[in-house]
Structure 1
């Protein structure tokens, strides 16, 4: 019996090649899209799962002022909590990632994303050493751990144990371990780890074991089953907060973040870079499901539209004794055969498109043919697709009455037509939704790119202070001033792009002693406002020789929080971090953090020294400016190569995740429309075939091509219009929710919805009109010769 069903399915497949191509092509594209998305989702969801103790590992995070959530914690607190809470098996601290200059075998390399880590780092985290002893690798202050890639780069071999490296032209370190390259699905990405005991020689937080300065990432490994439920986690968090409150006056709330949640569930500031977003994962999971359903709808539509072609077959089978269950099984078998053919084609498409998709998503996804779990997932997808797409056609076709069919009186019910129209509407609701989503994301990214941040970000080049420059700032200042290409510069502590500093230790006249507000700050020289072209609302900028006066400039938001106004705040006293001074100016609010965050109060302090120099270059003289900087830098700091970057590039990098999401969304929106149009093309072709004789009669009676195209197209266009009406409120709600994640965002505009509707309408009209025009141009003699 099954053999017979498969034979019939194969014959139908061969005889109706175009129909089969539309079905298999639509399902294959839908499956390929879903497989690619699922590979991406699997990768995003797998972060940090490779650690042996992943379920027992948590990161300590902090919340201040309810809105300021940070990934960092105090060094002393992380070190001492295991002694106060027995359930904590061990703790490990990591510094913020930093850059350094390394010299090995007479070659120099500038490296990024280096961490200082406690000596038990390799006990807590599962980063396997291929050479060295994990218990001792970070035990000595002059030890250093390299990954395979770093060792190969520095020494040309991974057999580098015991070799020496000079760091920042000063201290010499011995290679005590070689790590396997860090998996791409780790939230910690690095090539070099240095011992915290070396950092503890100079860092005051580590020397004094402070509980009130937030500069380190703190991780705890808990005893097995110490936290086995949400209730256990809440109790542990309560105990940690109780201990902190008993030792500090600041109102800080701490949380424990599961290690596996860090990549997708971190909306924290001062975090390691490269996080994902659970919202995007959920969105793309829904998109994968929707695209697959759209492909299934194609199959249902074409199968039910062609029902009259299979009616006599069903009637004959019923006459010779076939039951409805057998017929349902037959048609489901056919849909499953097509589904598995589509799966084979989809796998081929995935292999072809995976390199381009990896480039688009900035991933290293691999389709592992030997992974049994992938094959189980693919088989489940094929089975689900076959059963879903074949279910309604099977039930519908098996329900034909043999007497009516064999007498030629088959008449499809209005419910069949209603269901088919509903499927077409569902397809185009999805298409309109995805198109509107694409437009909103595109416009929000353009808004971010073009938004006036409160300063001019163009042509701003910055270089870090390194090596001998730290002791030659006056010489650097003089050299930059003397050169006309570099004399528009400012030296500062931080870029006003993503400030991570902040302090509660601030006092002004009339401040409520119970008020606790975090004030970010920047230490900058007298050129700061001019270089960034910021607006000064009142007062003056810093003067050249007033470093000892503790002059302060604050922003508009700070003025409002202090309960004053721009006109009367000048001359008021302000004490920040124990330094009493005077407010000399109010700068217009500017964005110094990504646009997800509202503008916070800001304090600008006058400082002669800084960690960065920003130079404003002439638009047509950038290369000459860089050459001048290389000459100045080379003479003052010959041991270090000049490293420079541009502020607008730095700002663009903050929205890398959104840009990738937008690009991926664009591709899948276009593919969803393509799949919908494949189905619409097949459906319109079949409808034209069904009305072939009617078209011939109308042509004989004088109907022209325009009238016939209008007749055949209007029913489909009505469905597209209904889909548009249904999609608009759904799109408005969904995209409004997404935009709420930004403190600064575009407003949804009516033209976005209308344009999406017009695009879908035009594509649908083009698809249907082609078949309609083809039918209207046919010779009526062919359709009427049998009458």
Structure 2
């Protein structure tokens, strides 16, 4: 029986090649898109699952206010909690990632992903060593761990145990371990590890074991079966908060974040970079499902449209004894065969498209057909696709009455027509939704790119303070000021683009003693406002008089929170971190954090020293300015190669995830629309074929080609209009929810929805009109010669 079904399916394929191509091509493209998306989703969902103790690992995070949730904790608290809470088996601290200059075999390398970690780091996390002893590698203060790639880069071989590396032209470290290259699905990405005991020689947080300075990442490994429910986790969190509140006056609350949740569920500030977003994972899962459904709808539509052609076959089978169950199995079998053929083509497409998709998504995804689980997943997709796409045609065709069919009285019911029209409407509802999403995402990303942040970000070059420059800041100032290319500069503690520092220790006249608000701050010199071209609303900027280190400039938001106004704030006293001074100016609000965050109160404090130098290059002189900087730094800091970047590049990097999501979304939205058009093209061809004689009669009676095209197209255009009306409220709600993730965002406007509708209308009209025009221009003699 199966052999017979297979033979019939093959004959249908050969006899109707174009129809088969549309079905198989649509399903293959839909499956390939879905497989690529699922590979991406699987990668995003697999972060940190490779650790042996992944289910017992949690990160300690802090909540200073509703608007300020951070991934960092106090060093002393992380160290002490395992002794205070017996359920914690081990705690480990990580510094913030840092850049340093490493010298090995008389070569210097600038590396950007290094951490200081506690000695038990490799006991808690599963980062295997290919060489060395994980129990001892981080014990000695002058030990250093490097990955395989870095070992080859530094020494030309992974056999580097015992070799020495000089850090920042200062201390010499001995290689005590070679790490396997860090998996791409780890939220911690690093190339080099240094012992925390070395950092403890100079770091005051570590020396004093502080509980009130938040500068370290803290991870805890809990004993097995300690946390088996949300209630258990809440109980541990309550105990941690009780411990902290008993030792500190600040109202900080803490949370425990499961290790596996960090990559996708972390919207925290002061976090390690490179996180994903669970919202985007959910969106793309829906997109994968939608694309597959669109392909299945194509199959259903084309199969039911061709039902008249197979009606006699069904009638004859029923006459000779075939039951409905057998017919259902036959048609489901045919759709499943088509689905499996499509799967083979989809696998080929995935292999062809995967390099481009990896480049688009900036991933290293692999498609491993040698994995049995991959085949199980693929065969499941093909089977489900075959059953879904063939279900309605099988049920519809199998219910034909043989007497009517064999007498030639087959007439499709209204319910069939309604269902098929419903499928077409569903496809174009999806198309409108995807197009609206594409337009809104594009506009939001452009809004981010073009938004006036409150300062001029163009032509700004920033250089970190490194090496000998720390002791030569005055010489640096003099050298920069004397060169016409670099004379517009400012020295500061942080860039006003992703500000991480802040403090509660602030007091002003009339402050409520119970009020606790975190104030970010920047320590900057007198040229800061000019270099960034910020607007001073009242007062003055910092003076070059070096004695005025306790002058403060605040932003508009700070003025409002302090209960003042722009005029009255000038001259008021302000104490920040114990330094009492005077408010001398109010600067117009500017965005010093990504646009997902609202503008917070800000304190600018006068200082001559800082961590960064920012130079404002003249237009079209960037290359010459960099050359001048290389000469200046080469003279003052010869042991360090110049390290520089651009402020606008730093800002763009903050929205890397959104840009990637937008690019991927656009590609798959276009593919979904293309698949819809393939089905519409085939459906319009069959509709034109069914009305072939009617068209011939109308032409004989004088109907013009334009009138015939209008007649054949108007039914489809009604369906597109209906889809547009249905899609509007859904699109508005979905995009409104997405935009809520940004404190600053565009407003949804009517033209975005109208444009999406017009694009879909034009695409549908172009697709249908081709077949309609072809039918209207056919010779009527061909259609009427049998009459």
Give the TM-score category using the shorter length: over 0.9
| C-alpha distance in structure 2 between counterparts of 1:611 and 1:646, whole Å | 15
Conservation of the 8 A alpha-carbon contact between 2:549 and 2:607: no
The one-character-per-residue Cα deviations of 1:66-115 (angstroms, maximum 9, x if unpaired) are: 22000000000000000000000000000000000000000000000110
| C-alpha distance in structure 2 between counterparts of 1:119 and 1:173, whole Å | 15
| C-alpha distance in structure 2 between counterparts of 1:69 and 1:299, whole Å | 49
Matched residue of 2:38: which SS?
helix
| C-alpha distance in structure 1 between counterparts of 2:650 and 2:15, whole Å | 59
In the alignment, what sits opposite 2:421?
A: 421
In the alignment, what sits opposite 2:435?
A: 435
In the alignment, what sits opposite 2:718?
A: 718
In the alignment, what sits opposite 1:186?
A: 186
| C-alpha distance in structure 2 between counterparts of 1:549 and 1:76, whole Å | 31
**1:332-347 residue pairs with structure 2 within 5 A?**
332-347=332-347
**1:239-638 residue pairs with structure 2 within 5 A?**
239-638=239-638
Is residue 2:120 matched to residue 1:120? yes
In the alignment, what sits opposite 2:749?
A: 749
Give the length in aligned residue pairs: 787
Query: What stretches of structure 1 move > 4 A for 4+ residues in a row?
Result: none
Is residue 2:778 matched to residue 1:784? no
| C-alpha distance in structure 2 between counterparts of 1:709 and 1:113, whole Å | 64
In the alignment, what sits opposite 2:670?
A: 670
| C-alpha distance in structure 2 between counterparts of 1:499 and 1:658, whole Å | 20
Conservation of the 8 A alpha-carbon contact between 1:553 and 1:584: yes
The one-character-per-residue Cα deviations of 1:298-322 (angstroms, maximum 9, x if unpaired) are: 0000000000000000000000000
Matched residue of 2:246: which SS?
helix
Task: Give the RMSD, CA atoms, in angstroms.
Answer: 0.5
In the alignment, what sits opposite 2:24?
A: 24
Is residue 2:175 matched to residue 1:166? no
| C-alpha distance in structure 1 between counterparts of 2:85 and 2:627, whole Å | 57
In the alignment, what sits opposite 1:225?
A: 225
| C-alpha distance in structure 2 between counterparts of 1:709 and 1:246, whole Å | 81
| C-alpha distance in structure 2 between counterparts of 1:242 and 1:670, whole Å | 54
The one-character-per-residue Cα deviations of 1:575-628 (angstroms, maximum 9, x if unpaired) are: 000000000000000000000000000000000000100000011111111111
Matched residue of 2:340: which SS?
helix
Structure 1 position 40, deviation (Å): 0.1
In the alignment, what sits opposite 1:66?
A: 66
| C-alpha distance in structure 1 between counterparts of 2:66 and 2:758, whole Å | 44
**1:126-137 residue pairs with structure 2 within 5 A?**
126-137=126-137
Matched residue of 1:247: which SS?
coil
Conservation of the 8 A alpha-carbon contact between 2:92 and 2:118: yes
Conservation of the 8 A alpha-carbon contact between 2:60 and 2:257: yes
The one-character-per-residue Cα deviations of 1:673-716 (angstroms, maximum 9, x if unpaired) are: 00000000000000000001111111111011100100000000
| C-alpha distance in structure 2 between counterparts of 1:54 and 1:549, whole Å | 48
Conservation of the 8 A alpha-carbon contact between 2:448 and 2:595: yes
In the alignment, what sits opposite 1:733?
A: 733
| C-alpha distance in structure 2 between counterparts of 1:749 and 1:210, whole Å | 51
Conservation of the 8 A alpha-carbon contact between 2:549 and 2:605: no
The one-character-per-residue Cα deviations of 1:167-208 (angstroms, maximum 9, x if unpaired) are: 000000000000000000000000000000000000000000
In the alignment, what sits opposite 1:139?
A: 139
Structure 1 position 549, deviation (Å): 4.3
Matched residue of 2:390: which SS?
helix
| C-alpha distance in structure 1 between counterparts of 2:579 and 2:462, whole Å | 29
The one-character-per-residue Cα deviations of 1:537-567 (angstroms, maximum 9, x if unpaired) are: 0100000014444000000000000000000
Structure 1 position 651, deviation (Å): 0.2
| C-alpha distance in structure 1 between counterparts of 2:483 and 2:607, whole Å | 23
Conservation of the 8 A alpha-carbon contact between 1:547 and 1:608: no
| C-alpha distance in structure 2 between counterparts of 1:601 and 1:33, whole Å | 46
Matched residue of 1:520: which SS?
strand
Q: Which runs of 5+ in 1 are unaligned?
A: none
Matched residue of 2:537: which SS?
strand
| C-alpha distance in structure 2 between counterparts of 1:113 and 1:719, whole Å | 55
Matched residue of 2:116: which SS?
strand
| C-alpha distance in structure 1 between counterparts of 2:700 and 2:476, whole Å | 91
Matched residue of 1:748: which SS?
coil
In the alignment, what sits opposite 1:95?
A: 95
The one-character-per-residue Cα deviations of 1:470-490 (angstroms, maximum 9, x if unpaired) are: 000000000000001100000
Structure 1 position 65, deviation (Å): 1.5
| C-alpha distance in structure 1 between counterparts of 2:549 and 2:142, whole Å | 41
Please, what TM-score do these two structures have when normalized by structure 1?
Answer: 1.00
| C-alpha distance in structure 1 between counterparts of 2:241 and 2:549, whole Å | 39
Conservation of the 8 A alpha-carbon contact between 1:547 and 1:607: no
The one-character-per-residue Cα deviations of 1:427-464 (angstroms, maximum 9, x if unpaired) are: 00000000000000000000000000000000001100
Matched residue of 1:484: which SS?
coil
Is residue 2:690 matched to residue 1:690? yes
| C-alpha distance in structure 2 between counterparts of 1:547 and 1:355, whole Å | 59
Matched residue of 2:58: which SS?
strand
Matched residue of 1:552: which SS?
strand
Conservation of the 8 A alpha-carbon contact between 1:547 and 1:606: no
Conservation of the 8 A alpha-carbon contact between 2:717 and 2:765: yes
